[in-house]
Amino acid sequence: MTIETISEHRCFGGTQGFYRHASTACAGPMRFSVYRPPQAARGHVPTLFFLAGLTCTEETFMIKAGAQKIAAELGLMLVAPDTSPREPRLPGDDADWDFGQGAGFYLDATQAPWAAHYRMHDYVSRELPEIVAKLFPADPKRFGIFGHSMGGHGALVLGLRHPQRFRSLSAFAPISSPSQVPWGIKAFTQYLGPDRAAWTEWDANALVRKRPYGRPILIDQGLADKFLETQLKPELFEAACKTAGQKLMLRRHEGYDHGYYFIESFIEDHLRHHAAALAG
C-alpha cells in the first residue's frame, strides 16, 4: 500500500495534502485529498469522508467549502476522494457532464464497460478508509461521512449500507431518491442496467425503509436551488424517513442555491454534528 504525495500545504496549523495511488477497487490510478488538523500530530483523530457532486474533483471541497478552520478547532481529519475514475479512458466517458467522468455515483457498476473500473462504492467504503487508517493518524472507530448533491446521495447510501463503518452522517442538497429523478435514472440505467430491482441497494429512499441508520441524519437544502424540484425532491426522502422511524433533521434555507456558497454557510453545523456524534 503506497501513495504518492502530489502536494502538501500548511493550513490552520495542520496540513492540507493531495495524493495519488494505484487503486485496486477501481483498477487504475485514483486521487484524493486529506486535511490533517493540528491534533493529528499528537494522536489518532476522528475522520470525515466528504463526497463531492457532479463535475467535481478531490480538490473542490478542500478549496471551496472553507471547512479547515473549524476542522482544526474540532480536531477532525477530512478526506475527499475524486468523484470517478479518470483512467483508463472508457468510450463515452466524457460525452455528458452528468455521467461517466466526474459522475461515478458512488456505486459498483455491473454493466460493461463501466463494471471494470467504476467501483466507487468499494473504493470509498473499503479501500480508501483502509489507506487512511494505515497511512494517516485516523481513528477508524470514529469515521463519519457526508457529501453534496451526487455526493450527498453517496454519503446517504454508504452510511445506510455501512452504519458500523460510518458512525455519523449528513448531506447538503442530496440526490436522496435517485431512482425517481432524471440524474439517477440516467446513471443507474447505464451503470446497473434496466432492472430496477438492482437499483434499490443504491437508493437512499429504498434503503432507509429497509434498514434505518438509527442515529440522526442532518440534511441542509437551499430553497433557491435550481435542481430542487427536478432532481433533489427532499420531500420524498423525508417521507421515507418518517415511515421508517428514522430521525431526520431536514433544514430548508430560503434564498440559498446549489453551489459552494451554500455549503460554506452551513459547513460549521455539519462539522459540529459529526464531532458530537463521534465524541468519546
Ligand X SMILES: N[C@@H](CCC(=O)N[C@@H](CS)C(=O)NCC(=O)O)C(=O)O
Per-residue string for binding with ligand X, 19-38, x by CB under 6 A? --------------------
Q: Judged by CB under 6 A, does residue 54 bind ligand X?
A: yes
Among 14, 17, 53, 104, binds ligand X (CB under 6 A): 53
| Cα dihedral 93→94→99→103 (10° resolution) | 90
Residues 130-159 that bind ligand X (CB under 6 A): 148-150
Residue 97 engages ligand X in binding (rule: CB under 6 A): yes
| Of 8, 175, 146, nearest in space to 71 by CA | 146
**Residue that the C-alpha cell 452528468 belongs to:** 98
Catalytic residue status for 225: yes
Interface with ligand X, residue 261, by CB under 6 A = no
Catalytic residue among 258, 270, 273, 274: 258
Q: Is 260 in the site for ligand X (CB under 6 A)?
A: yes
Binding ligand X (rule: CB under 6 A), the pick from 20, 21, 44, 64 is 64
Query: In the complex, what is the shortest distance from the CB of residue 266 to ligand X, in angstroms, rounded to a whole number?
Result: 14
Active site residue 179: no
Respond yes or no: is residue 7 known to be catalytic.
Answer: no
Rounded distance between C-alpha atoms, residue 97 and residue 8, angstroms: 29
Does position 55 interact with ligand X (CB under 6 A)? The reply is yes
Helix residue ranges, H only, the chain? 60-64, 68-74, 120-122, 128-135, 150-161, 182-192, 204-210, 234-244, 260-278
Residue 36 to residues 68, 73, 76, 80, 167, Cα–Cα distance (Å): 9, 12, 8, 12, 19
60 binds ligand X (CB under 6 A): yes
Residues near ligand X, by CB under 6 A? 53-56, 60, 64, 97, 148-150, 258-260
